[in-house]
């Protein structure tokens, strides 16, 4: 008996269903990580606070570090959440962790939806085999799966970038006004989700140039004369970008001065905080994609991109346009956040999928059982490293964060009238919101929290001191806990009552956990037995008066 042919009609829809289901499970598993602590992931609070302000303060954003489109979608999700939950008589706010959970679910939805979307786009260009392989690779791409858990703009940006890519492919097939309008809408939504989304115009520019260069298939007027492609680009695409940008984030235009000021401050802050200040392209090529895809899939993607470059087909050049432009532009930035490379991940998966599908055609005449067995073995080898990373991340995300464990201990053992000093070596230790009833102070040099200046420490009334430290971030830590004034207080009057180290520290080369040191997030990029659960190490001292 021969195995079922993948060319049979029901095969691809069934396979796509299971791939999408796997993508959803992977992206939603452990999505409540860190809760009820609400600062487990940087930047989530910026978006959620804006989404909540829209309930009472109108729809003008308070800050423009991010455009407003994702915030508006998030606010709509919050309103639906309130309506469905019918939270008490009249309007009341939920506990904060509920909004974080809703935000992360929105991001996971965008991440899951990108998987079947990529299939339909690629299948229409390169065939269903390439489409199913591309979606499979994206499903198990570690960086995309990991960041789909985070309530930030990066996954939504990736989704809209893929939509723009699909519209660009339609322009290559039929450069009509409707396809240019769709491309303009998608590019606008990418831009108003995150400013770097403006690079989503690159596949559209490439498609337009390729159609114009090949002079066909141009639409024709009633007299039979070819209409220049410029009509669609200048008079449809560009107005569509402007219209949908205004529609989805109007205050980018109405408050252009404030937008420019906030973006300038953000750029300066990123430049100052960058490690080394050099261009990040080498870091992304040697670190981000290595861990974000896994070495086998990364090699397949690189080979696929080279293959697409070499074929010189219109659709190939439009496919490589975005990752090329994105790497060149974002690779010049000094900041080295791995999440900045997320929009390029689907295109790497497309390149690997197309190359794999084309190579399969060369050997499909072999014995069917051998052919499909070989395919399965190779796919398993390519996907295994990334799948292993995903399993590790989801398993860690399902474990309780050390900050939550510390807050649980405090609620059980520390009287509410106690004065608690909080200090962390990587910055402020953000304890869960359910400690709001406690008298917490921070030893810090800035921020919105109640601050105890260092010089007043000797006169402060302190009952407990909380110190947080993570040795694997030591290169960016300010070791306040070793300062004489704090060490003396602990030495003379302190007694350790709680200690939690969620990691086993080692300096042995090649064995230390690998973190994204530019983005303080306490789950490593690669599996390790040295990390027991997420969060910093926490020690609590009781201070005798």
- Sorted by sequence, the CB contacts under 8 Å of residue 372 that are 6+ apart come out as 3
Decide if 363 is inside a domain.
Answer: no
Domain hosting 417: range is 402-543
Total Cβ atoms within 10 A of residue 163:
22
Closest to 145 in 3D by CA, of 396, 398, 389, 400: 389
Whether residues 105 and 193 share a domain: the answer is yes
Helix (H) or strand (E) holding 380: helix 368-397
pLDDT at 345: 97
- Sign (positive or negative) of CA dihedral 293, 297, 298, 301: negative
Phi first, then psi: give them for residue 509, nearest 5 degrees. -60, 130
Whether residues 169 and 183 share a domain: the answer is yes
Whether residues 327 and 266 share a domain: the answer is yes
Decide if 226 is inside a domain.
Answer: yes
Domain boundary among 348, 379, 396: 396
pLDDT at 337: 85
Structural domain total, the chain: 2
d(CA 175, CA 207): 9
pLDDT at 36: 80
Whether residues 374 and 476 share a domain: the answer is no
Decide if 457 is inside a domain.
Answer: yes
Decide if 6 is inside a domain.
Answer: no
pLDDT at 37: 78
d(CA 34, CA 37): 5
From residue 252, how far is each of 65, 192, 237, 242, 260 by CA, in Å? 11, 9, 19, 11, 9
Task: Determine the 3-state secondary structure of 352 from DSSP.
Answer: helix
Whether residues 333 and 428 share a domain: the answer is no
Angle at 201 between CA 196 and CA 202, to 5 degrees: 100
d(CA 492, CA 333): 48
Whether residues 416 and 389 share a domain: the answer is no
Whether residues 388 and 440 share a domain: the answer is no
pLDDT at 481: 41
Decide if 364 is inside a domain.
Answer: no
Tens digit of pLDDT at every position of the chain (545 positions): 344 444 455 788 899 999 999 999 999 998 988 888 777 777 888 899 899 898 888 888 888 888 999 999 999 999 888 877 765 444 456 778 889 999 999 999 999 999 999 999 999 999 999 999 999 999 999 999 999 999 999 999 999 999 999 999 999 988 888 999 999 999 999 999 999 999 999 999 998 888 877 654 445 555 555 554 456 777 888 999 999 999 999 998 888 887 777 777 666 655 544 544 556 888 899 999 999 999 999 999 999 999 999 887 888 999 999 999 999 988 887 778 889 999 999 999 999 999 999 888 777 666 666 667 777 888 888 899 999 999 999 998 888 888 888 888 998 998 888 888 887 655 446 676 677 777 777 665 433 334 444 434 445 578 888 887 766 554 343 344 445 566 777 888 888 899 888 888 776 776 778 887 666 678 888 888 888 888 888 888 998 87
Decide if 293 is inside a domain.
Answer: yes
Whether residues 301 and 157 share a domain: the answer is yes
Query: 137 near 352, Cβ under 8 Å?
Result: yes
Decide if 227 is inside a domain.
Answer: yes
Write the DSSP assignment of 425-437 as a string of letters. TTS-----GGGTT
pLDDT at 449: 38
Q: At what angle do helices 202-214 and 154-173 cross, to 10 degrees?
A: 10
Decide if 132 is inside a domain.
Answer: yes
Whether residues 376 and 406 share a domain: the answer is no
pLDDT at 245: 93
Whether residues 376 and 460 share a domain: the answer is no
Helices (H) and strands (E) in the chain, counts: 21, 5
Whether residues 255 and 293 share a domain: the answer is yes
Phi first, then psi: give them for residue 179, nearest 5 degrees. -70, -35
Whether residues 352 and 417 share a domain: the answer is no
């Amino acid at each position: 008996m021969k195995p079922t042919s993948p060319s049979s009609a029901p095969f691809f829809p069934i396979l796509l269903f299971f791939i999408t289901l796997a993508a959803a499970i992977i992206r939603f598993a452990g999505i409540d990580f860190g809760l009820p602590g609400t600062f487990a992931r940087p930047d989530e609070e910026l978006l959620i606070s804006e989404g909540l302000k829209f309930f009472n303060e109108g729809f003008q954003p308070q800050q423009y570090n991010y455009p407003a489109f994702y915030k508006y979608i998030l606010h709509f999700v919050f309103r639906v959440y309130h309506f469905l939950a019918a939270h008490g008589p009249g309007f009341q706010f939920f506990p904060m962790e509920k909004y974080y959970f809703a935000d992360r679910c929105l991001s996971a939805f965008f991440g899951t939806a990108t998987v079947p979307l990529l299939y339909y786009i690629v299948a229409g260009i390169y065939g269903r085999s390439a489409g199913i392989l591309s979606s499979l690779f994206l499903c198990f791409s570690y960086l995309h799966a990991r960041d789909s858990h985070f309530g930030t703009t990066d996954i939504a940006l990736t989704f809209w970038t893929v939509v723009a890519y699909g519209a660009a492919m339609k322009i290559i097939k039929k450069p009509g006004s409707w396809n240019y309008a769709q491309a303009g809408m998608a590019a606008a939504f990418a831009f108003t989700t995150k400013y770097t989304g403006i690079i989503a115009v690159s596949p559209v520019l490439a498609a337009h140039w390729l159609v114009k260069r090949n002079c066909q298939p141009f639409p024709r007027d009633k007299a039979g004369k070819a209409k220049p492609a410029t009509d669609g680009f200048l008079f449809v695409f560009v107005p569509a970008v402007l219209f949908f940008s205004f529609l989805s984030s109007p205050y980018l235009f109405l408050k252009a001065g404030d937008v420019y000021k906030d973006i300038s401050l953000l750029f300066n802050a990123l430049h100052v905080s960058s490690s080394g200040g050099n261009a990040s392209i080498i870091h992304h090529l040697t670190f981000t994609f290595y861990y974000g895809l896994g070495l086998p899939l990364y090699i397949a993607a690189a080979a696929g991109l080279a293959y697409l470059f070499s074929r010189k087909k219109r659709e190939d050049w439009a496919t490589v346009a975005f990752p090329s432009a994105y790497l060149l532009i974002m690779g010049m930035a000094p900041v080295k956040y791995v999440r900045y490379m997320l929009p390029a991940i689907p295109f790497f998966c497309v390149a690997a999928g197309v190359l794999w599908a084309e190579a399969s055609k060369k050997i499909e005449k072999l014995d069917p059982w051998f052919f499909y067995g070989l395919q399965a073995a190779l796919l398993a080898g390519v996907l295994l490293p990334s799948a292993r990373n995903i399993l590790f991340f989801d398993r860690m995300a399902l474990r309780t964060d050390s900050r939550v464990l510390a807050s649980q201990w405090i609620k059980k053992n520390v009287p509410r009238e106690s004065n608690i000093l909080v200090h962390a070596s990587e910055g402020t230790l953000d304890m869960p919101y359910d400690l709001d009833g406690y008298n917490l102070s921070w030893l810090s040099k800035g921020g919105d929290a109640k601050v105890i200046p260092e010089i007043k420490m000797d006169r402060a009334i302190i009952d407990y001191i909380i110190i947080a430290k993570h040795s694997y971030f030591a290169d960016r830590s300010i070791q306040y806990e070793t300062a004489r004034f704090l060490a003396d207080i602990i030495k003379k009057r302190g007694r350790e009552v709680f200690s939690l180290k969620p990691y086993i520290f080692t300096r042995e080369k090649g064995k230390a956990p690998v973190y994204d040191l530019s983005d303080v997030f306490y789950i490593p990029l690669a599996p390790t037995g040295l990390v027991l659960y997420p969060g910093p190490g926490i020690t609590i001292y009781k201070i005798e008066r």
